[in-house]
Chain A
Amino acid sequence: MKITFDWLQDHLKTNFKEKHLLEQLTNVGLEVESVESLSAENQLFKVAKIIKTEKHPNADRLKVCDVNIGEKELKKVVCGAANAKEGLITIYAPPGATIPKTKTKLVIAKIRGVTSYGMLCSESELNLSNESEGITELSTKYEKSIGKSFFSKSKSNLIDLSITPNRPDCLGVRGIARDLAASGFGKLLELKEKKIKSKTKQNLKIKINKEKDQGCTAFGSCLITNVKNTESPQWLKDKLISVGQKPISAIVDITNYVMLDINRPLHAYDADKIEKGIIVRNSNSGEEFTALDNKNYKLEKGMCVISDKKGVLGLGGIIGGTRSGTELDTKNILLESAYFEPRSIRNTAKKLNLDTDAKFRFERGIDPLSIEAGLNKAALLIKEICGGDISKIDIQKIETYKSKIVKFDTNLFEKISGFKISTKKMIKILEDLGFKCKKEKKYLNLIIPSWRPDISQEIDIVEELVRISGFDKIKIIAPIKERTKSTLNQKQKLFHFLQRAIASKGYLEVITWSFTDGNYNDHFKQTKKEIKIINPISSELGVLRNSIFSNLIMYISKNLDRGFKDLSIFEIGPVFTGSSPGEQITVVCGLSAGKKSRLSWIDKERNIDVFDVKRDVVQTLIEAGYNSDKFLIDDKTPNYYHPGKSGRIFLNKDKDKVAAYFGEIHPNILKKIDIKTDNLIGFEIFLEHLKLPKKTLNDQKSKFTTSGFQKSERDFAFVVNKDVKAQDLINAISSVDQKLISNIKVFDVYEGENIPNNQKSIAISVTIQSSEKTLNDNDLEKINNSIIATVENKTGAKIRS
């Protein structure tokens, strides 16, 4: 909502300065978005006429225009607008002027070899509207203004307010003035409302159909006959221009003025184009009409339309139609001032994807009692400027407005706000805002002003009182430093632990979108359902991610393109398994590319490999408190991993839920996505699959004991079939005697010479120690034999002699 201090003063008597105004607006909840000076600088923009256009010699789409700016000589201006043609009156900006929208300062410039002195401006460049197609077109009425400044000389700044959706009343200057007055910023001026005095009846028949979901509950109108539409007088043009609106013609300008002044949207029809009266009704499916934006709309069933015998004239409260629109030669006008239900307006506008000023206001709620005031104000102005005769006002309604009443417990104010104001003060504030107050014991009986659809219960009254009293009155109550519940639950603690555990192993944490490119996602989604976003910002971000890998690969690839070679990144975040709330799991996903060490004076070069990543995962799980002795690792992994170089980890031998996967990314995927590395190793840890221990780490620990007796280390080399896993041998050995065997370590794996083709040799060192005695040769021999026998028996291995 754009206003000026000048315009405010039509409604508000105040001695304060503009600087205070800006503060006060913000203090009462009317946020000042920006303040723009429209003075001095804008005097440079002149009304100008194109005298001649020629095609630019070096560019097909450009024209060279000779422009009359009221000086002796014509200015040469290069212009790319399609509508730049001879005779057009438009707005010219000379070199040195700053374009309001882009804030760029114009200079004399050569455009494709032709020197251009200034620029012809579009409405959007001047912040007059969003119209950026072509340059501004002014009516022929501006002929006599050529060379004069387009903007008025008003010294008032343009103040742009961000009005919250609950305050339709502040979409009119008067509403803003009322709030300011209530807050002590001045006095709200009484409106000296003149009324239409007429003996003629409004003889065009208006009917609101009583049907289900009728979106119009009241339709007021009057006829103005024998008008002469003309250019608006200077005061009106200045007023509109001062808030960034483009004057069009008196009738349009007047309806706009009334709308901006008291938030009362009106619509003017050419009465002669209406066939036998107006019917307000629900549309039929498939009905069509051409709206004032020159677009054709096909309607669905049940939209609120203004129609005549021939069909739809317009969408009530949203947009009028071209068939009955007023033009410069319009003689007889039907002026409409109606009430449309916000819900109906919203539904229709949403379905047709239409956004207009009227729609914006009606969907927030227009004062249902402003119908007459709007007609009076506008009709009398039209008569004053365009002449003609006004009929009596006709109001059709299917519902009568009943004022809302709230019984307000004055104690509630302090209970919510934490500070006190007297009942007298409350009454003063509320009356200034337009409430009618009656005190009854500790209650106030309040009649809500008709322009405040946002108020319906006690808490709304508290808000009004706090807002107008000032939020600075609220006293700070310092928080108490007391904790009765632990801040994080076990799962959250684990989340934070894993996050930092992985980062401490050399991975940079990234945060990527929860959505991803469907093509990338396909590589990793397995059997999961693809979850499409209906309205993505781009097709590359069209689906919710089924895995974090797709994003990590994309970003690894981007970093490789930046010239980095050795990269390790990870993300901890959601992965989606379905499109319903809760169908998501938390995954820690890491991805590494390149080398563990580059060639250096001290180390040999080698690629990051599966066992680096396995260490990161296993170590992280150990750090998180899981016992690695219980881990079970096998090689069954999803198909986006290299089938031979990947594994999965269970936290225990029950193979309950997979705690993590790790391994090389499948070479086929690397090939398909054309990434600048031949080495991508990743892992996924599934937070929800990590069983949260019932006992604390401290309670899980066994009693601290050490053995003072001698330990001995024995080495064994077994020859086994290739498909036997090292883990099988370790399991076999540890099963022999857990009391005596304290450590088992694989120290060599060998295939090749001296070993049969389908076999391999695994060398294992076993530490044997008793907590009860020193083992003698005999004891050791017994365990040795037992280890060999068990391994041979369980795995088919043979001890190497």
Chain B
Amino acid sequence: MSDLKKIRDEFISKLESKLNLPEINQIKSDLFGKNGLISSQFKKIGTIVESERKKFASDLNVIKDELQDLINSKINEVENAEINKKLEKEKIDITLPERPFVRGKIHPVSQTIDEISSIFSEIGFSVEEGPDVENEYNNFTALNTPDNHPARDLHDTFYLDEKKQKLLRTHTSPVQIRTMQKDKPPFKIIAPGRTYRSDSDQTHAPMFHQVEGLHIDKNINMGHLKGCLDYFIKEFFEVNKIKMRFRPSHFPFTEPSAEVDIGYEIKDEKIIIGEGNQWLEILGCGMVHPNVLKNVKVDPTKFQGYAFGIGIDRLAMLKYGINDLRAFFDCDYRWLNHFGFDPLDVPTNYRGLSR
């Protein structure tokens, strides 16, 4: 038997026994180390007689490859066994609870304001704001509601001084005045915000939210008003058809004035918007009164347009099935969690207003 065959047989049998990683590495170095058995054989090639050299070299290479492959597969085997052994130990109970994550929520009124802004944004309205504390002039007089006007009685006003000059705005309409005073027509704005009336019972809160709309340009008529509200209501309730009724009404700052009802019915204790024979009042609107335009130095013979005021809380209640207005402001943790919105749910046109 040649040396080569002897080396091969000896080490193959060695490698067939159960070995750990250091032992395999020892074998590897015995064979292929600087002075390893195989390495030494390669050094010998030059000394072999010419006639046998070729065969010797070929045999040596075959044996080298065979042993190397065996060692590598052996190492692999041992490593795999070790990983498997480790994995065995690392088995956890995956049904144990995850680390807690505290979710924040957006208040339904804020969400509704964002929805409203998104809808009106599409048709070119921009958002204006005004202060919560107003003077008597902006809240009433400029809006064609002089001091002796009985319509003032309909607003239970909170006053901040005995002379009743400073008050908490009773509607968002003073934003109309502020907007028209600071800029020049055309105007196309909405103004959402807090409003206040000293009224408190099941269906009234001393503070609530309104969104004002104002569109003044050269030829804006009641058809535009109807079109705008029809569009808004459909978009807001995310329905294709809506039953809407304009009813003549009276507001000192618009003429003609109307209140708008939408049709609804109750099915399985749930309110369904847009169908049925019941009417629900949701907003007031009208053509801006020429006296109001005069008060803000806009020429009513050149410019005209409409205004509207919508109760935001009311809209939110209808859309999201909230029964109690007072709960909006009661900060009950359970209520906020139930009716609140994920902050990632930003109402947009392309993703839809709500999920």
Contact = CB atoms under 8 A, between A and B. Distances in A.
B353 interface: no
Given A31-B247, A579-B166, A506 B124 contact: no
Contacts of B134: 581
B104 A507 contact: yes
B250 A476 contact: no
Contact of B223 (A346, A462, A474, A559): A474
Interface stretch (B57-65, B79-87, B256-264): B256-264
Given A165-B153, A579-B166, 17 more contacts: A31-B247, A167-B250, A343-B148, A418-B222, A418-B223, A457-B290, A459-B287, A462-B256, A477-B224, A479-B227, A487-B127, A505-B104, A509-B110, A513-B329, A559-B331, A600-B100, A602-B99
B148 A580 contact: no
A778 interface: no
A347 interface: yes
Contact of A574 (B194, B199, B226, B337): B194
Most A CB contacts (10 A, CB to CB) among B114, B154, B160, B330 go to B160
B142 interface: no
Contacts of A568: 102, 104
A484 B188 CA distance: 10
A601 B97 contact: yes
A32 to B, nearest CB: 10
Contacts of A504: 104, 343-344
A511 B100 contact: no
A55 B207 CA distance: 48
Most A CB contacts (10 A, CB to CB) among B194, B247, B333 go to B333
Of all A-B residue pairs in the complex, the 3 with the closest CB atoms, nearest first, are A29-B248, A418-B223, A164-B250
A191 interface: no
B106 interface: yes
Nearest to A543: B160
B104 A601 contact: no
Interface stretch (A67-75, A222-230, A427-435, A529-537): A529-537
A535 B333 contact: no
B3 interface: no
14 contacts: A29-B247, A346-B148, A415-B219, A472-B246, A475-B223, A487-B117, A500-B106, A534-B164, A567-B333, A574-B132, A579-B166, A580-B135, A581-B138, A581-B166
B331 A555 contact: yes
A534 B333 contact: no
A584 B249 contact: no
Interface string B291-304: 00000000000001
B105 interface: yes
Given A535-B159, A568-B102, A584 B132 contact: yes
B150 interface: yes
A511 B109 contact: yes
Most A CB contacts (10 A, CB to CB) among B104, B159, B329 go to B104
B99 A603 contact: yes
B37 interface: no
Contacts of A414: 221
Nearest to B221: A418
Interface in A293-332: none
Contacts of B28: none
B129 A492 contact: yes
Interface stretch (A199-207, A256-264, A463-471): A463-471
Interface of A: 26-29, 31, 164-167, 342-343, 346-347, 363-364, 414-419, 457, 459-460, 462-463, 466-467, 471-472, 474-489, 492, 496, 499-515, 531-537, 541, 544, 555, 558-559, 562, 564, 567-569, 573-574, 576, 579-584, 597-598, 600-603
B47 to A, nearest CB: 49
Contacts of B257: 463
Contacts of B166: 579-581
Interface size class of chain B, counting residues whose CB lies under 8 Å from the partner chain: 35 or more
Interface in B112-171: 114, 117, 120-127, 129, 131-135, 138, 148-151, 153-154, 158-162, 164, 166, 168
A419 to B, nearest CB: 7
A488 B127 contact: yes
Contacts of B331: 510, 512, 555, 558-559, 569
B340 interface: yes
Nearest to B111: A509
A758 B15 CA distance: 67
Contacts of B96: 601-602
Contacts of B158: 515, 533-536
Given A346-B148, A492-B129, A503 B246 contact: no
B247 to A, nearest CB: 6
Contacts of A167: 250
A142 to B, nearest CB: 36
A178 B257 CA distance: 20
Nearest to A468: B248
A27 B247 contact: yes
Given A514-B132, A562-B332, A31 B290 contact: no
Contacts of A463: 248, 255-257
A540 to B, nearest CB: 11
Nearest to B215: A479
Contacts of A532: 160
A347 B147 CA distance: 10
A477 B228 CA distance: 8
Nearest to A29: B248
Nearest to A342: B148
B223 A535 contact: no
Interface of B: 96-97, 99-100, 102-107, 109-110, 114, 117, 120-127, 129, 131-135, 138, 148-151, 153-154, 158-162, 164, 166, 168, 188, 194, 196, 198-200, 206-207, 219, 221-228, 230-231, 245-250, 255-259, 287, 289-290, 304, 328-334, 336-337, 340, 343-344, 346
A463 B248 CA distance: 9
Contacts of A535: 158-159, 198
A508 B248 contact: no
A476 B121 CA distance: 20
Nearest to B209: A511
A27 B340 CA distance: 39
A474 B148 contact: no
Nearest to A464: B256
Nearest to A564: B333
A486 B290 contact: no
Contact of B226 (A475, A513, A541): A475
Contacts of A573: 194
B284 to A, nearest CB: 11
Contact of A509 (B161, B194, B255, B336): B336
B206 A513 contact: yes
Contacts of A581: 131, 133-135, 138, 166
Contacts of B107: 509-511
A542 B161 CA distance: 13
A477 B247 CA distance: 18
A466 B254 CA distance: 14
Most A CB contacts (10 A, CB to CB) among B124, B132, B231, B248 go to B248
Given A477-B224, A483-B121, A513-B206, A364 B133 contact: no
A170 B153 CA distance: 19
Contact of A484 (B124, B206, B222, B248): B124
B124 A31 contact: no
Contact of B336 (A510, A534, A600): A510
B160 A533 contact: yes
A511 B105 contact: no
Most B CB contacts (10 A, CB to CB) among A417, A459, A479, A512 go to A479
Contacts of A511: 107, 109-110, 328-329
Contact of A29 (B117, B207, B249, B346): B249
A166 B249 CA distance: 10
B127 A492 contact: yes
Contacts of B99: 602-603
B194 A514 contact: yes
A508 B333 contact: yes
Contacts of A555: 330-331
